[in-house]
Chains A and B, each alone.
Chain A
Amino acid sequence: MSNLLRVEHVTKHFGGIKALTDVSFTVRKGEIFGVIGPNGAGKTTLFNALTGLYQPDTGAIDLDGVSLYRRKPHQILKAGFARTFQNIRLFHNMTALENVMVGRHTRTTSGVLAALLHTKHNRQEERDCAAYALQLLDRIGIGKHANALAKNLSYGDQRRLEIARALASEPKLLALDEPAAGMNPNEKNALRDLMISLRDEGLTLMLIEHDVKLVMGICERMVVLDYGEKIAEGTPDEVRHDPKVIAAYLGGEVAA
């Protein structure tokens, strides 16, 4: 399998706090890649540094051969790297459908003039965009709430809507920041099935998750962070038996 995302020596410090130090790993095409670690290990900081919300201090980030290092969030999305947020960030006073249509911003082109003149291209694009968004909502299982405001959706549906919005940009790589947080077992199972079916369609996924059972069961490979540093990388089995990982999660000295 070829590599999709290459992260090399990424470092991000906030003043004296070393949020990320020299983190390197690769994500292969078509896999589900986990990012785990104790609270405050730097997982979300890593996502933010990769997707342009933070500017990394040093390092290199390539997606499919295109450098994403220090690019703007919208450029990174356009390059094919979409994400969701740990603390759901939806457009609350827009409908579910509109949320997903915003997600298609980079895949549509109509500007002010096209909108004013209602050009044929503009009308067609709006129709296609709405149809695509509705289809995504149906697939994610919230099609019946298409015209509900995002803020009125249930918690689980909001999480799903955020995934739909990210998918609307037709990414190569989708990074999910704790998508299962606060979900009940049924919702978790549905989420798991969704991630697997997305992977089977050729999408590559990155996943920050605290539910160890979910992460171990679904990820082909993973990286483990602790105090902003990578302490392990490998398959779930390799990681599970890594003494450093055990020490990080359970505390105590690393067995020699």
Chain B
Amino acid sequence: MNVLEAMKGKAWLSATLLLAGLILLPFVVEPALGKSWMRIIDFALLYIMLALGLNIVVGYAGLLDLGYVAFYAVGAYCWALLSSPQFDLHLPFWIILPAGAMLAAGFGVLLGTPTLRLRGDYLAIVTLGFGEIIRIFLNNLNAPVNITNGPQGITLIDPITVGGFSLGKTQDVLGMSISSPHMYYYVFLLCVALVVFVSLRLENSRIGRAWVAIREDEMAAAAAGINTRNIKLLAFAMGATFGGLSGGLFASFQGFVSPESFNLMESIMILCMIVLGGMGNIPGVILGAILLTVIPEALRYTGELQRAMFGQVYVDPADLRMLLFGIALVLMMLFRPTGLLPSKQRKQEFAEERK
């Protein structure tokens, strides 16, 4: 019993330390590495949300969705249209953020419905098509009536503003000057916490089990009484909700959206975060999202390094990024096909102990 209590105490201690570390992180990163790294960390948080959303569809329910970025786009454009000079609407964030998430959920159901009978490769191809359709729509909805401003995108999007306090510019708080990425960091952190919480609760629930059952064997799941149609649509809707949420946050943070940001490569990157980190396992997915956001940025320095060493840039950092990325994926598939932190490992060990 004492051991158990001690463990509980330890868990609390590490949780508190983690929280403190996360809160203090910007105070270290920003002075040491600069504002650009603060932005990169903010993007890492956004990608964690996206990856966890896609994880529900791909990791839990096993539905290979290659058009996930469409929901990110829906959320982003929902915010951009309702809170920018485009239509001169400036609705508050507490309306548009949920609205964007809900709208994305609606699109999730809309795009999920025609794909219900498809599996594996076929599902992947159709969802890939849907993702592209959304992007192309956004690209072309500037004529005959200008809605999305086409390829130019929408600019001057409002930042999150709480009672006149804008997160879009540097503010003085308690005598400290806090930058915009620093403030957004806390907002994103809060949203990540929410998304992790929702994922955790759903994972260990009747619905979560039904998702995994469908992933494992759809026919057996139906024979076990699961309404596979509804449960699959629920997975699409939940995943899309997270996508819509991150999309809205992205639009407000960036202040600018254009269809360019929502191309196929984004969908693939988000999928890779899940595959690399560990499909269906929340810590794994988070790790994958962080690695795949931070490493490419770190590789940019290789350009400067090359210039310092050879006087010119031989390998473009962007090419290097794809090269290393390809090698990493091949190595992963060879040595750790279930990802860096695969799921169920813990339960497996527990089972062996019990025997």
A and B physically associate = yes
B309 at the interface (CB under 8 A from A): no
CB 8 Å contact bits of A95-134 with B (1 = contact, 0 = none)? 1001001110110101110111010001001100100000
For the complex, give the distance between the alpha carbons of A145 and B351 in Å. 7
Contact status A115-B202, CB under 8 Å: yes
For the complex, give the distance between the alpha carbons of A227 and B202 in Å. 47
Chain B residues with CB under 8 Å of A125's CB are: 206
- Given known contacts A89-B219, A94-B216, A115-B206, is B351 in contact with A106 (CB within 8 Å)? no
A25 at the interface (CB under 8 A from B): no
Contact status A91-B217, CB under 8 Å: yes
Contact status B223-A77, CB under 8 Å: yes
A165 at the interface (CB under 8 A from B): yes
A90 at the interface (CB under 8 A from B): yes
Chain B residues with CB under 8 Å of A83's CB are: 223
CB 8 Å contact bits of A192-234 with B (1 = contact, 0 = none)? 0000000000000000000000000000000000000000000
- Given known contacts A147-B350, A147-B354, A149-B347, is B206 in contact with A108 (CB within 8 Å)? yes
A144 at the interface (CB under 8 A from B): yes
B interface size (C-beta, 8 A): 32
Chain A residues with CB under 8 Å of B70's CB are: none
Contact status B220-A94, CB under 8 Å: no
B234 at the interface (CB under 8 A from A): yes
Cβ 8 A contact of A53, one of B205, B207, B208, B219: B219
B328 at the interface (CB under 8 A from A): no
CB of A214, distance to nearest CB on chain B (Å)? 23
- Given known contacts A89-B217, A105-B206, is B347 in contact with A147 (CB within 8 Å)? yes
B294-349 at interface with A (beta carbon < 8 Å): 344, 347-348
Of chain A, the residue at the smallest CB distance from B238 is A112
Contact status B206-A144, CB under 8 Å: no
For the complex of A and B, 5 pairs with smallest distance between CB atoms: A115-B205, A106-B225, A91-B216, A89-B220, A77-B225
Contact status A91-B225, CB under 8 Å: no
B237-265 at interface with A (beta carbon < 8 Å): 238
Contact status B226-A105, CB under 8 Å: yes
CB 8 Å contact bits of B179-215 with A (1 = contact, 0 = none)? 0000000000000000000100110011111101100
Contact status B344-A93, CB under 8 Å: yes
CB 8 Å contact bits of A42-56 with B (1 = contact, 0 = none)? 000000000111000
Contact status B222-A72, CB under 8 Å: yes
A9 at the interface (CB under 8 A from B): no
B161 at the interface (CB under 8 A from A): no
B170 at the interface (CB under 8 A from A): no
Chain B residues with CB under 8 Å of A77's CB are: 223-225
- Given known contacts A105-B206, A105-B226, is B217 in contact with A90 (CB within 8 Å)? yes
Dominant SS among interface residues on chain B: helix
Cβ 8 A contact of B212, one of A82, A91, A111, A122: A91
For the complex, give the distance between the alpha carbons of A193 and B241 in Å. 50
Contact status A98-B206, CB under 8 Å: no
Chain A residues with CB under 8 Å of B351's CB are: 95, 145, 147-149, 152
Contact status A112-B234, CB under 8 Å: yes
CB 8 Å contact bits of A132-155 with B (1 = contact, 0 = none)? 000000000000110111001000
Of chain B, the residue at the smallest CB distance from A165 is B224
Contact status B206-A73, CB under 8 Å: no
Of chain B, the residue at the smallest CB distance from A51 is B223
B221 at the interface (CB under 8 A from A): yes
A6 at the interface (CB under 8 A from B): no
For the complex, give the distance between the alpha carbons of A149 and B219 in Å. 19
Chain B residues with CB under 8 Å of A52's CB are: 222
Of chain A, the residue at the smallest CB distance from B280 is A93
CB of A43, distance to nearest CB on chain B (Å)? 17
For the complex, give the distance between the alpha carbons of A91 and B227 in Å. 16
Contact status B227-A72, CB under 8 Å: yes
- Given known contacts A72-B227, A112-B202, A118-B201, is B220 in contact with A144 (CB within 8 Å)? no
Chain B residues with CB under 8 Å of A90's CB are: 216-217, 220
For the complex, give the distance between the alpha carbons of A110 and B212 in Å. 16
CB of B225, distance to nearest CB on chain A (Å)? 4
Chain A residues with CB under 8 Å of B201's CB are: 115-116, 118
Contact status B224-A169, CB under 8 Å: yes
B117 at the interface (CB under 8 A from A): no
Chain B residues with CB under 8 Å of A95's CB are: 347, 351
Contact status A105-B219, CB under 8 Å: no
Given contacts A85-B223, A115-B201, 8 further A-B contacts (CB under 8 A): A72-B227, A89-B220, A90-B216, A91-B213, A102-B226, A114-B205, A115-B205, A115-B208
Of chain B, the residue at the smallest CB distance from A118 is B201
Of chain A, the residue at the smallest CB distance from B228 is A74
Contact status B225-A169, CB under 8 Å: yes
A13 at the interface (CB under 8 A from B): no
For the complex, give the distance between the alpha carbons of A90 and B221 in Å. 9
Chain A residues with CB under 8 Å of B226's CB are: 74, 102, 105
Contact status A74-B227, CB under 8 Å: yes
A78 at the interface (CB under 8 A from B): yes
A92 at the interface (CB under 8 A from B): yes
